[in-house]
Structure 1
Amino acid sequence: MSGGLPIDLILFAMVAAFLVLRLRSVLGRRTGFERQPGEAAPGAAQPVPAREAELPPPVPAGAVARSLPDPRSPVGQVLMRIRGLDPAFDPAVFLNGAEGAFRMIVQAFAAGDRDTLRNLLSEESFAGFDQAISAREIAGETQRTELRAINGISIEEAELRDTVADITLRIVSDQVNLITAKDGSISAGAEAVTEITDLWTFQRDTRVSDPTWKLVGTRSV
């Protein structure tokens, strides 16, 4: 997705404001999604240094259905080409990191944590998220989100333009999303659990030393 992000699509994709996750703890090793050293975990009511944060145990890998494309498929061939440019790239590890990035980004959005978003989003994507956060702040509204389950995550598309790689993921989750107005009433969303399918695209230039994959586009289907 190359244009600015509509506010309603961003709000529809948010999850788990109360989960405090750090990608280094989720992944256990460097994949390019982790936060810079020393940064605090977002979303806590009273932030604590990241090194002191007590995190919930990570969800076992088998609890979330993960799907990798056949290496012989067009998408699988692109992933092989990406690995040719970056030998450290592993599609399976990428999916683990992407799940953590999904949780971290939507949590940071719900908390209005612009610093975390700026580190993990492209400039254009950040501008869309920032606009939505500002609109919420001006209106005096509060984002409440809950992630009930991530049902599946898979690599849907992959593209390599020169040394710039794009990978699009399909993420299926059960969520509760609502916006609370100043007076405490619900101005958008509902308490009901809804299954949401998101397509998120991450991008990285394999020439640069920074291993971070930046979120460049989101949409719900």
Structure 2
Amino acid sequence: MQDSFDVTTIIFLGLAVFVIWRLRSVLGQKTGAERSPFRPVERNRTEPSAGRKEGDNVVRLPGADRGQSVAPAAAPVRDWRGIAEPGSPVAAGLEQVLQIEPSFDPRSFVEGSKKAYEAIVLAFNKGDRKTLRSLLSREVAEGFEQAITEREQRKQTAETTFVSIDKAEIVAVDVKNRVAQITVRFLSNLITATRDADGNVVDGSAETVVEVPDVWTFARTLGSRDPNWQLVATEAGG
């Protein structure tokens, strides 16, 4: 009986060992390199996304192309409409101004020149020497003051009413040694008359609107703290 028990026990032990061996061969053993069950879609970081093909748009993070060459920024395209023809001498001159003083705005300059034109004409007719000195170069101011003095000696007065300034266009730009000279052609409609001591009109008309062309040149040292342009030359426009 004892021998039978021993033989049976040995048989069952052998079966148990066989079953355990088969299970291990089917299921395998853990090696510590298995993918975590909490990251079922984890991919290698160098692996492209599924469905992504070469040439597809990619959102790149800053510094992603740090090792690649970068094309130089293109020169800014100026919008010269209403100011100058692209490629013209005026446009080239304005580019020179902007190279020295990037904040320069040609459109603001044109608007400012119209205000200066009106202010200077009115100051001249009123004999306002103080205003003229602040807006004119010394040479031009001397010429204006001489004309005012001669008019006063004749006991004459001048009257001017601005009806409109129909045109103010830049016709020339010159930059030398950081000094810019910009020439503007004005076309205005005025009512202008000169009266004698008795109030009689001796020149012009107190009622007729006349079209007056003028060509004025303004100058300023670029980059200086003084933002004001001064009138440095005048001539009658054709």
TM-score normalised per structure 2: 0.63
Q: Does 2:171 align with 1:129?
A: no
Shift of 1:141: 0.7
Q: Secondary structure of the equivalent of 1:140? A: coil
Which one of 155, 159, 175 corresponds to residue 174 of structure 2?
A: 159
Q: Where does residue 208 of structure 1 map in the other structure? A: 224
CA contact (8 A) 1:95 1:153 kept: yes
Identity %: 38
Distance in 2, Cα, partners of 1:67 & 1:147: 23
Distance in 2, Cα, partners of 1:97 & 1:120: 12
Q: Secondary structure of the equivalent of 1:125? A: helix
Q: Which has the greater radius of gyration?
A: 2
Shift of 1:119: 0.5
Q: Does 2:205 align with 1:190?
A: yes
Q: Secondary structure of the equivalent of 2:103? A: coil
User: Deviation per CA, 1:26-85, whole angstroms, max 9, x where unpaired?
Assistant: xxxxxxxxxxxxxxxxxxxxxxxxxxxxxxxxxxxxxxxx94112421111111111111
Q: Secondary structure of the equivalent of 1:178? A: strand
Alignment coverage as a number of residue pairs: 156
Q: Where does residue 61 of structure 1 map in the other structure? A: none
Distance in 1, Cα, partners of 2:82 & 2:212: 17
CA contact (8 A) 1:85 1:206 kept: yes
Map residues 19-168 of structure 1 onto 2, 5 A cutoff.
Answer: 67-168=82-183
Distance in 2, Cα, partners of 1:203 & 1:71: 23
CA contact (8 A) 1:67 1:155 kept: no
Higher relative contact order (CA 8 A, sep 6+): 1
Alpha-carbon RMSD across the aligned residues, in angstroms, is 1.4
Distance in 2, Cα, partners of 1:170 & 1:207: 25
Q: Secondary structure of the equivalent of 1:184? A: coil
Distance in 2, Cα, partners of 1:214 & 1:201: 8
Give the counterpart letter for 2:128 in structure 1: D
Distance 1:67 1:154, change over 3 A: farther
CA contact (8 A) 1:149 1:175 kept: yes
Distance in 1, Cα, partners of 2:221 & 2:142: 20
Distance in 2, Cα, partners of 1:130 & 1:142: 14
User: Deviation per CA, 1:188-217, whole angstroms, max 9, x where unpaired?
Assistant: 112321111110100011143212110011
Give the counterpart letter for 1:197 in structure 2: P
- Give ranges in structure 2 of 5+ residues lacking alignment: 1-80
Q: Secondary structure of the equivalent of 1:211? A: coil
Give the counterpart letter for 1:73 in structure 2: S
Runs of 4+ residues deviating >3 angstroms? none
Shift of 1:156: 0.7
